[in-house]
Amino acid sequence: MADIAKATEADVPALAQTLARAFYDDPAITWMQPDDERRLRVGPFGFGAWLKKIYLPKHHVYTDPDRKAAALWAPPGKWRMSVGLQLRLTPAMMRIVGLRRLPLIAKGMAQMDKAHPDDRPHWYLAVLGTDPDYQGKGLGSAVMQPVLDRCDADGVGAYLESSKEANIPFYRRHGFEVTGELRFPEGPPIWPMWRDPRPR
């Protein structure tokens, strides 16, 4: 498998395109922006904003040499977005989802936030995506592995929300188990998943 490394600011344009392609047909993203043409147009902008403003500053975005897959992690205690960051992201969210849908999206995000485990330290896998043309080649597993190895070494759990039911078996192979089901307002289900550290 190709060498996996931490992404930098220079990788943002390529990774934003990769993630937009990876999530184009994702039920949660489709719920956020139902218009196919607009979703195609604003997807790279949205993922670029997430990378630059939220996850690159946390220093745990992993990618492959060709920038065809990415795992965006938040370290223990760093997953929650501050009110200031939420406010700074609001213009970008408005551009992505439109003013009319923004309150609905905010309600769904608040629901996910409330369900997020806050009683034990864990790494949060916020986004994992592979360009559709490169799926099935092990890239998703590879970009996720550096932090899973760290979880096992440190004895710390990991958490994610799967927005595609078809992806649940993939995450199960990596030790994650479904802990419940959330549903966006007027939208699709989301499956929270937790992973206990594996003995070394």
- At residue 61, the pLDDT reads 98
Lowest mean pLDDT among 52-61, 82-91, 180-189: 82-91
Give the DSSP letter of residue 120: S
* 132 falls within a domain: yes
92 occurs within a structural domain:
yes
Q: Are 21 and 14 in contact (CB under 8 A)?
A: no
- Cα dist from 120 to 55, 117, 198, whole Å: 21, 7, 16
- The angle subtended at Cα 163 by Cα 29 and Cα 9, nearest 5°, is 60
CA distance from start to end of the chain: 22
| The pLDDT of residue 71 | 98
Measured in degrees and rounded to the nearest 5, phi and psi for residue 161 equal -120, 120
What pLDDT score does 103 carry? 76
Distance CA 39, CA 200 (A): 43
Question: Total domain count for the chain?
Answer: 1
pLDDT tops 80 at residue 52: yes
Domain assignment present for residue 200? The answer is: no
In the predicted model, what is the mean pLDDT of residues 78-83?
A: 76
Parallel, antiparallel or unpaired: strands 157-162 and 122-130: parallel
Check which CATH number belongs to the domain holding 65 and give it: 3.40.630.30
- pTM score, whole prediction: 0.90
Measure the CA–CA gap between 118 and 59, rounded to whole angstroms.
21
SS3 state of residue 88:
helix
Instruction: For the beta carbon of residue 73, count every other beta carbon within 10 angstroms.
Output: 27
Residue 128 within a domain: yes
Domain membership of residue 125 as a residue range? 5-195
Is residue 170 in some structural domain? yes
50 assigned to some structural domain = yes
Strands (E), the chain: 5-6, 61-63, 69-74, 122-130, 157-162, 176-178, 182-183, 189-195
Give the model's pLDDT for residue 98: 67
Has residue 44 been placed in a domain? yes
